[in-house]
């Protein structure tokens, strides 16, 4: 009988091949048929970019102010009276170029700190940013997109009950959204709807959240990007109105297994807000009291929100789908 343990008869097992992001490098082949030990992905690059974000946005604000002064130089008396600076800025924001000035620098920074590190990651670019196919049916994704508006409407209504009138920041933003007319009417939908929906999701839910889910529990992995996303809006009223939608966007990206979902939801929500701001109705939460049509839309979309959330809870992704095996 042949000795199966004899060294001359045994054939060395093929070492398991894992993606470089998850593989612990060893100096010799595996011994005794043991697999290589998966190494959890690094999260410090993602957290580092989050720390860089605020200084970068402050620098962009200063650069934007300098560009604005070159494009629309204020009169000398404005510098002598600081109270006139706000008026000069408000007048600038009423011009079509003002909308690009207050949105484009921020979005370009978010795109830069998401795309550049993703290019350097050993994980494939699209996978690193969560730009992967949906793991739920597409009809459910469509329900989630409609449900996003169903969440935003009651949140805006609640904010309108808590805050008596919009902050100056929101009033300036609404003025900038309403300013472009005629052939420039597309600008708010691009600079406030589409561009932020892509840039903000690629960073907060794509580059940041998708990596945190490989190491942290969902409450922290979803909560930190959602909180950071809300705080980036700086204005207290805007932060209050953004917290719930931010948590929703983080959760739907997690449960559908793809950042494409949160991008679509974000774009739909922002474009709906732009359309509301450009309408004759007051673009604040009080506009929901306009009549039965708005209340009917509120009830219908909120129902869709509840249904889509229940379906995602039942058949969506879990934490195990994000962990290396």
The pLDDT tens digits for 79-122 are: 556 566 666 667 777 777 778 888 888 899 999 999 999 999 99
Tell which phi-psi region holds residue 235, choosing left (phi > 0), alpha (psi between -120 and 50) or beta.
Answer: beta
Provide the pLDDT for residue 16. Answer: 44
Look at residue 266 in the predicted model and tell me its pLDDT. Answer: 97
- This model's pTM is above 0.85: no
User: How far is it, in rounded angstroms, from Cα 261 to Cα 242?
Assistant: 18
| Each residue's pLDDT tens digit, 239-281 | 888 999 999 999 999 999 999 999 999 999 999 989 988 885 4
- Shared domain for 27 and 118, answered yes or no, is no
Distance of CA 199 to the CA centre of its chain: 7
pLDDT of residue 289: 52
Q: How many structural domains is the chain composed of?
A: 2
One domain, residues 23 and 121: no
Report the pLDDT value the prediction gives residue 284, as an integer from 0 to 100: 44
Same domain, 127 and 248: yes
Q: How far is CA 60 from CA 115, 144, 155, in A?
A: 18, 33, 30
Whether 210 and 237 share a structural domain = yes
Q: Are residues 23 and 105 in the same domain?
A: no
161 and 280 assigned to the same domain: yes
> Per residue in 177-214, pLDDT tens?
888 888 889 999 999 999 999 999 999 999 999 999 99
Q: Are 277 and 178 in contact (CB under 8 A)?
A: yes
Give yes or no: residues 68 and 123 share one domain: yes
**Same domain as 135, residue 27:** no
pLDDT for 12-23, tens place per residue?
Answer: 545 444 444 444
Average pLDDT, the chain: 80
Q: Could you list the residue range(s) of the whole structural domain that residue 212 is in?
A: 44-322
The alpha helices in the chain, defined as continuous H runs, are: 44-71, 76-80, 83-93, 96-120, 125-128, 138-162, 168-178, 187-188, 195-201, 210-212, 218-231, 236-256, 259-278, 292-315
Query: Is residue 239 domain-shared with residue 113, that is, in the same domain?
Result: yes
Q: Is 146 within 8 Å of 301 (Cβ atoms)? A: yes
Residues 6+ apart with CB under 8 A from 168: 86
Radius of gyration of the CA atoms of the chain, in A: 25
* 3-state SS assignment for residue 38: strand
* Whether residues 78 and 25 fall in one domain: no
60 and 192 share one domain: yes
Could you tell me if 2 and 139 lie in one domain? no
């Amino acid at each position: 009988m042949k000795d199966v343990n004899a060294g001359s008869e045994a054939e060395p097992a093929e070492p398991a091949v894992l993606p470089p992001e998850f593989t612990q490098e060893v100096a010799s082949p595996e011994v005794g048929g043991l697999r290589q030990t998966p190494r959890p992905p690094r999260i410090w690059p993602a957290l580092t970019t989050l720390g860089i974000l605020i200084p970068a946005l402050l620098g962009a604000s200063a650069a934007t102010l300098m560009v604005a002064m070159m494009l629309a130089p204020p009169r000398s008396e404005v510098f002598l009276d600081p109270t006139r600076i706000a008026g000069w800025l408000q007048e600038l924001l009423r011009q079509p170029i003002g909308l690009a000035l207050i949105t484009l620098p921020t979005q370009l920074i978010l795109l830069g700190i998401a795309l550049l590190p993703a290019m350097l990651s050993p994980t494939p670019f699209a996978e690193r940013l969560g730009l992967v196919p949906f793991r739920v049916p597409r009809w459910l994704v469509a329900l989630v997109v409609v449900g996003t508006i169903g969440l935003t409407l009651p949140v805006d209504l609640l904010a309108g009950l808590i805050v008596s009138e919009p902050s100056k920041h929101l009033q300036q933003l609404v003025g900038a959204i309403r300013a472009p007319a005629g052939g420039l009417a597309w600008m708010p939908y691009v600079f406030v709807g589409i561009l932020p929906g892509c840039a903000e999701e690629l960073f907060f839910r794509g580059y940041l959240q998708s990596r945190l889910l490989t190491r942290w529990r969902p409450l922290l992995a979803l909560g930190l990007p959602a909180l950071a996303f809300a705080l980036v809006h700086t204005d207290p009223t805007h932060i209050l109105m953004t917290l719930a939608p931010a948590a929703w966007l983080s959760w739907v990206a997690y449960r559908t297994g793809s950042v494409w979902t949160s991008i679509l939801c974000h774009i739909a929500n922002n474009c709906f807000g732009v359309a509301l701001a450009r309408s004759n109705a007051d673009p604040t939460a009080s506009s929901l009291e306009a009549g039965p049509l708005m209340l009917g839309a509120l009830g219908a979309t909120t129902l869709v929100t509840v249904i889509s959330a229940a379906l995602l809870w039942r058949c969506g992704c879990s934490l195990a789908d994000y962990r290396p095996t």
